[in-house]
Chain A
Amino acid sequence: MAGMVQEENSSSITSPPVHFFHMMSLSPGLGSPYPWLRELKSEERGLYLIRLLLACANHVAACSVENANIGLEHISHLASPDGDAMQRIAAYFTEALAYRMLKGWPGLYRALNSTKISSSSDRIIAQRSFFELCPFLKLSYVITNQAIMEAMEGEKVVHIIDLYSFEPAQWINLMQLLSARPEGPPHLIITGIHEQKEVLDQMASRLTEEAENLDIPFQFNPIVSKLENLNVGSLRVRMGEALAISSVLQLHSLLAADDDMLRRNSPSSSRNSNSTPLSRILPVNPRTLGEFLKKDFAILPSPSSDSASPSSPFSLTQSPRMGSFLNALWGLSPKLMVVTEQESDHNASSLMDRVVEALKFYAALFDCLESTITQAYTERQKIEKMLFGEEIKNIIACEGPERKERHEKLEKWILRLELAGFGRVPLSYNGMLQAKRLLSYGYDGYNIKDENGCLYICWQDCPLFSVSAWRFRRYE
């Protein structure tokens, strides 16, 4: 061992790695990084960042502020919002972790955010960029529209409810498709839901203009509301309208309200979000659907391999808000509902689970962003910061009703939607073909996978988004 000690003292670029983790963990307040730290190659740095992030998240989960602080400091030497993918991810994760710790001091937290301008317009700009530069939303729209076209064949009045109405392109595309129908275009009504009036106004003018150009009878109903406050009963759907509902990355936010209600109903299981024992106690007192489902799926030998087997549908009753929302939608008797969701599990009660799942998911997203957006550097950064960074922050730093980004995998959505009375509509081969055509237009590395009539939009082989189609189904 003597030799080693010597070597470590002469710590240099060549020698320390073996003891690296020792040092990092043993020396709190280590001021400046060792010189070789900066020499790390992308891969080494990336691996190291992952370790540090997980370690740090562990400390945060254990409310060990001191240690977490040390970890964050170390990461700060390596992470960067301008670096390679892992460096950028690390930057956003550390921010999120720091926010989480900060929330332990509400005063500090509020003070630091007291002058923050909530820039929803920035977010919308980022969303637009995401739409324009990445194929995900386009794919979702293309697939949705194809499904609508097929479901609405021969219909004379088509009503579409857009649960998050911010991008006219989807509906312009649909209008074009409809106007080319052999039987002629239908009367088209679009009910757009968005929390900002301006966005809806823009939608309305763009869509109206387009409908005029195409000579389609058209009507736009703007509903200024957050999805969670939406009164589905207030949606005016008249007899004879063939209804289609489009939800793109929206439904998961309703799970937050669930959490909230359950918490209020059972104060005993109150704030204890990050301690892991909870998940073990849970079978007795499941707090959220997500947890319960997680529990369920953990029992299955291979999670998600047979998603079609609803192991315990009764657990879905634990989801009053989501349940009632879906029931209300069901009550509108939609001919079609197309749901796009993030294909990832960010709704676990344990912080570590969420961190790990989020790491996986956003690693793939950042990778694909990096490879797809090679020119518009600032746009990419905006997307990363305003969209993904905010999502990561929400997943990690928030709890309870604040935590909106409760992405869940399709297998859970299938259970949930089936329980609400929806029947699955297989997405057609044609839809997939359209999607693939879109991808062939210069999007490398993306992939569409069909599984039991649902489509997964993948980056390389990693499914990132799921698209599934549903219809009103009477109980028989």
Chain B
Amino acid sequence: MAAPSSSSKLLFGGTSSREEDQNSKMQHSTTSSVSNTNTAPQKKKRNLPGTPSKIDLNPDAEVIALSPKTLMATNRFICEVCNKGFQREQNLQLHRRGHNLPWKLKQKTTKEVKRKVYLCPEPTCVHHDPSRALGDLTGIKKHYSRKHGEKKWKCEKCSKRYAVQSDWKAHSKTCGTREYRCDCGTLFSRRDSFITHRAFCDALAQESARHPTNLNTMASHLFGGNHLGLTGSQVTTQISNLQQDHHPSTNILRLGSAAGGAKFEHLLPPSNPSNSFGQTVPPLPPALFIQDTNQGFQEQSHHGLLPNKALHGLMQLSDLQANPSNSSASANLFNLGFFSSSSNTNSMADSDTANNNAAANLSSSAFLVTDQFNSGNGGGGSQTGTTLFPDHMGTGISSLYGPTPQQSLSPHMSATALLQKAAQMGSTTSGNSTSLLRGLGSSSSTANKSDRVQFISGGFGGVVGGGENMRTSQLDHDNHLQGLMNSLANGGSSVMFGGGQDQDMNGFNGFGENNNNNNNNNNPSLMSNMDDQAKLHRNMSIGGSDKLTLDFLGVGVRSGLTQEHQHGIEIGNLDSEIKLAHSGSRAFGGGGKLQ
């Protein structure tokens, strides 16, 4: 059994779906042959029961994708005597021989026939990939029925069901007569109970072979009563495994964590599964996240020493962020109010004529620089930072946020990660998701929330002030303000969406009205700026009451006062929030310095 060549996989990865489409119309469509390149033999894998053992890897084979219908079509070649059907004409010919009918087998053509391999029509199946195509038609048929088909045949003795009749027949012959013997010496008369048993026995037996048992017993004696000490290290190893697995859901940590870090991690090298953190991980998110933020601070202060390079990093970040989506605009849709600097700026840029993309980046970097300076004050650093984040930083962050930057760009985000992200976004855009946030909440989101509270107290004037601030930063662009309003307005609308939730019920009547109005208004585009502003105010006050009543729960409460100070100056750009969250807690009067 050879192994799939990686190059052929590459070659065919893209075309297979197209083949599929064609084949729903055409019965057989042959496509190009798998190219023959380095077929590095891989480790032989144990075949799972029911998996066809023949995986054809002939590099010159013709890849054939059949639609499920064609595949399952029974027997197009019918014997006129007994009406038995055959899938292949050759077989019918052979069969006719038994009836003493004239028969003729096709002669081998002089030209050597290309080997054919078949794809499983089920897109989620591993054998849907041309590099794992199966070598014969019967094989693929059986595979398809076994794995993706209905199990029509039931054994009367043991109730086990089969999709392929021949499997059922074979089983019926031996059912009850054969015994299954596990390595541990236990006998089973039924296969399913045998398998069930093996679920335990195999695992334990195999592993005890690796770990000598006396060690276990020793451990149990030694640590039976007082196992806490060892537990820590166990958790750690487990976490390190987990990180090496590169699983999307490690995003749990990342997404729920301090916003600043979460941004930077896009740029991190993937392979930094250091987990000094693991040992102290309590099972409960809040405490964990507080730690995150602290890390985030340090990290920011490192950057503070080299503002220019950090700026570079940030600009790159915005590119990266645009990557996973079709258009940056649609990506930013969900970044509304999300405290990422780059994404918000991008959305502003994209929402108008998009001629100021650079400006947008500049603006964000400008803010970053501000922050860097500020941070520099506190950071007083011994660390030297480089553009793409030196290793020690990377390590720190990746251990905090999980090892999978690529995963965050991959098309499928885990539901958990999505929830975390939604919670984070919700914390800035609206009071809507606060309850989500309560559980997942990170200290940084709290910081952002208090941010908002300050924002309210500043009122809309704060926004205007922000706009002016931008002007002084030579980033004067009407669209900025406009974009800002847009996103704020959207924050409002998302509250409206989530409205009526329990946390919002502090006698806030205007909210409901707002909601209704909006629902009656069929043309959102006609909504005036004023409306938006009004909504903005409501949004904010909802958010505010929310936080005041609920959301400091369990998470590090930050001093809002310093942030207020910042807000007068920097609030003009939503994206600065992320820094505000950090810098604010560090209590330097940063904005003033910028000016």
Contact = CB atoms under 8 A, between A and B. Distances in A.
Interface of A: 1, 3-5, 7-9, 13-15, 17-28, 36, 39-44, 46-48, 50-52, 54-55, 58-59, 61-62, 64, 67, 70, 84-86, 89, 132, 138, 141-142, 150, 167-169, 172-173, 176, 206, 209-210, 213-214, 276-277, 279, 298, 300-305, 350, 352-353, 356-357, 359-360, 363-364, 366-368, 370-371, 374-378, 426, 428-430, 432-434, 436-438, 440-441, 444-445, 447-451, 453, 456, 458-463
Contacts of B412: 42-43, 84-85
A50 B416 CA distance: 11
B525 interface: yes
Interface stretch (B14-22, B224-232, B469-477): B224-232
A450 B231 contact: yes
A55 to B, nearest CB: 4
Given A3-B352, A356-B435, A429-B223, A460 B252 contact: yes
B509 interface: no
B48 A46 contact: no
Interface stretch (B65-73, B242-250, B573-581): B242-250
A450 B227 contact: yes
A305 B554 contact: yes
Contacts of A360: 416, 419, 436, 439-440
Contacts of B235: 447, 449-450
B193 A304 contact: no
Contacts of B224: 150, 428-430
B247 A444 contact: yes
B252 A462 contact: yes
Nearest to B333: A17
Interface in B288-339: 324-327, 329-334, 336
B548 interface: no
Report the contact-size class of chain B (Cβ under 8 Å from the partner). Answer: 35 or more
B3 interface: no
A9 B199 CA distance: 59
A376 to B, nearest CB: 8
A72 to B, nearest CB: 14
B186 interface: yes
Contacts of B522: 26-27
Given A18-B333, A21-B493, 6 more contacts: A13-B326, A18-B347, A50-B419, A276-B502, A301-B553, A433-B216
Given A360-B419, A449-B283, A26 B252 contact: no
B471 to A, nearest CB: 19
A302 B206 contact: no
Given A8-B524, A22-B527, A279 B502 contact: yes
A301 B496 contact: no
A4 B482 contact: yes
Q: Is the interface of B mostly helix, strand, loop or mixed?
A: helix
B283 A456 contact: yes
B518 A25 contact: yes
A367 B249 contact: yes
B523 to A, nearest CB: 8
A18 B329 CA distance: 8
A210 B188 CA distance: 9
B67 to A, nearest CB: 18
B388 interface: no
A43 B416 CA distance: 11
Contact of B486 (A18, A89, A463): A18
B413 interface: yes
A130 B126 CA distance: 22
Contacts of A370: 414
Interface string B498-531: 1111110100000000000011011111111100
Given A18-B487, A27-B522, A428-B227, A460 B502 contact: no
B136 interface: no
B147 A375 contact: yes
A367 B333 contact: no
B164 interface: no
Nearest to A456: B283
A474 B432 CA distance: 48
B105 to A, nearest CB: 38
A3 B422 CA distance: 29
A17 B415 contact: no
B286 to A, nearest CB: 5
Contact of B524 (A13, A22, A54, A463): A22
B88 to A, nearest CB: 28
Contacts of B234: 432, 436, 448, 450
A358 B147 CA distance: 31
Given A58-B500, A363-B419, A67 B519 contact: yes
B122 interface: yes
B284 A305 contact: yes
24 contacts: A3-B352, A15-B329, A17-B334, A43-B325, A51-B498, A55-B432, A132-B199, A173-B197, A276-B503, A352-B502, A356-B435, A356-B436, A356-B439, A357-B439, A364-B416, A371-B249, A377-B125, A429-B227, A430-B216, A432-B227, A437-B207, A441-B203, A447-B235, A453-B227
